[in-house]
Structure 1
Amino acid sequence: MEERAEKGGGREVEEEEKGEDDDSVCLDESFFVNRNYELTTFTFGPHVLQLLCLQSASTDYDLTGQLVWPGSVLLNNYLCKNMDMLDGRSVIELGSGVGITGILCSRFCPKVVLTDHNDEVLEILKKNIELQASSVPFDTAAEKLELTAEKLEWGNAEQISRILQKHPSGFDIILGADICFQQSSIPPLFSTVEKLLRIHDGQCRFILSYVSRVKRDHYNTAGSL
């Protein structure tokens, strides 16, 4: 009996020593969060936007949405040259980040829904929506302009359904700019897009903008489905 007790005690000491040697560190999301946002001015054709954003950010904790990426600038320039496609249309943007593309669309569209999956990014997105109150064009009635932010994780059926319950008629245009940083995100992205496209029975357009950072001679693409 005594021998068993000694062996048991030995195991306890061994486990205790093992615990002391375990130097792994679990860092909370707040460790990576940078909230030093700057009010920045962006110009696209005749349209001037002022948004809060970071000038640079860590991508270690999926907070890429805190700054403006080249694909958003590319898409905004494309939309400015094709304003007719936006006039009077309803728009939903996926992976909105700080909202630079969706907010530009609100200058032409009566209904724009901006979405992101990250709560930290949604917070700054909502602040940027509030900043637009004084930027509504004089020929657009403020009470008729619907510019909102919703949480949406691609592939999340419950969140998609919640958005469609609020907007049962769906959307005319789905937008995304520089939103694919991992190959694993592509299937849930297109699954979400498929559900949104289906509501409008073939009348909805998906426009995806992407700036390649892989090749030395960076090339830009803007495609639509």
Structure 2
Amino acid sequence: MGSESEKGREEEEEEDIVCLDESFFVNDDYQLTTFTFGSNVLELYCLQSASTDFDLTGQLVWPGAMLMNRYLSDNADILQGCSVLEFGSGVGITGVLCSKFCRKVVFTDHNDEVLKILKKNIELHEHSSPSAELEAAKLEWGNTDHLGEILQKHCDGFDLILGADICFQQSSVPLLFDSVEQLLRIRGHGNCKFILAYVSRARQMDSAIMKEGSQHGMLMNEVPGTRCTVGNLEGVIFEITLK
């Protein structure tokens, strides 16, 4: 009797298992949206509200990206003729702005669904930036294979590393700084910098990024005059270099 009872419970549990199509969580109702940064007008496909899957945050334009783009637009001279790699590009709004000034922009993201819309936005702007080399690549922070593939193609590294509003999960911060350090060391001291547009959402994260920067031998320099309110939160620009 006991075995029959257990078998009955197992069958009931199997009946309770619901298989959901992953597409149920994906919103791909992208709208062509106009953004203006100084004299630079950009059109990109993006969502107006998020998918239900937390991993698809890259489908939106986040406050930190607006902070980054305002800073870059006001200081476009630092982009002139540079090669750039961006972490967590999302829909590509920062990389697209860079493409107007840079000679090379490598957009990266780890999510395949986000990479689809990223590539679509790159194609949308390739004709307006004919002198810039634009490329999308998959990059999961801490993944040596992904980073290795990028560096095999761009063996001389990059002048600038960018990251806009990419610090959400504390567990991912060490992996982010591991990857940043590898890229900074290719060029050596003073020849490459990491520009991070950071939006403060938790004190633990504030402490985590400063701690990781220090442990990876980096100088975390807050850019004067960049601390401001973005989306009801406090944002700031850091320029990060090797000590």
Matched residue of 1:64: which SS?
A: helix
Moved more, 203-212 or 72-81: 203-212
Matched residue of 1:15: which SS?
A: helix
Render the CA deviation track for 1:85-125: whole Å, top value 9, x for unaligned: 10001000000000000110000001000000000000000
- 1:209 is matched with 197
- Code of the aligned partner of 1:34: N
Structure 2 length-normalised TM? 0.82
Closer, same or farther: CA 61–15 of 1 in aligned 2, 3 Å:
farther
Cα distance between partner residues in 1 of 2:92 and 2:192: 21
- 1:110 is matched with 103
Cα distance between partner residues in 2 of 1:117 and 1:218: 26
Check if 1:63 corresponds to 2:50.
Answer: no
Closer, same or farther: CA 220–131 of 1 in aligned 2, 3 Å:
same
Deviation of 1:26 (Å): 5.0
Q: CA RMSD in A?
A: 1.9
- 1:3 is matched with none
The aligned runs of 1:69-218 (5 Å cut-off) are 69-136=62-129, 142=130, 144-202=131-189, 203-213=191-201, 218=233
Cα distance between partner residues in 2 of 1:109 and 1:174: 12
Larger Rg: 1
Cα distance between partner residues in 1 of 2:69 and 2:116: 22
Cα distance between partner residues in 2 of 1:204 and 1:125: 25
Matched residue of 1:161: which SS?
A: helix
Check if 1:54 corresponds to 2:47.
Answer: yes
Render the CA deviation track for 1:51-101: whole Å, top value 9, x for unaligned: 000001035331000010000000000011111110001000000000000
Check if 1:17 corresponds to 2:9.
Answer: yes
Query: Does structure 2 retain, via aligned residues, the 8 Å contact 1:172–1:204?
Result: yes
Deviation of 1:214 (Å): 5.1
Cα distance between partner residues in 1 of 2:149 and 2:115: 17
Render the CA deviation track for 1:106-161: whole Å, top value 9, x for unaligned: 0000100000000000000000001003322xxxxx2x420110000000000100
Cα distance between partner residues in 1 of 2:195 and 2:184: 12
Give % identity.
64
Query: Does structure 1 retain, via aligned residues, the 8 Å contact 2:26–2:53?
Result: no
Moved more, 54-63 or 95-104: 54-63
Matched residue of 1:109: which SS?
A: coil
Render the CA deviation track for 1:12-44: whole Å, top value 9, x for unaligned: 551342331353445443221001000000011
Query: Does structure 1 retain, via aligned residues, the 8 Å contact 2:33–2:46?
Result: yes
Unaligned 5+ runs, structure 2: 204-228
Query: Does structure 1 retain, via aligned residues, the 8 Å contact 2:157–2:183?
Result: yes
Cα distance between partner residues in 1 of 2:54 and 2:23: 10
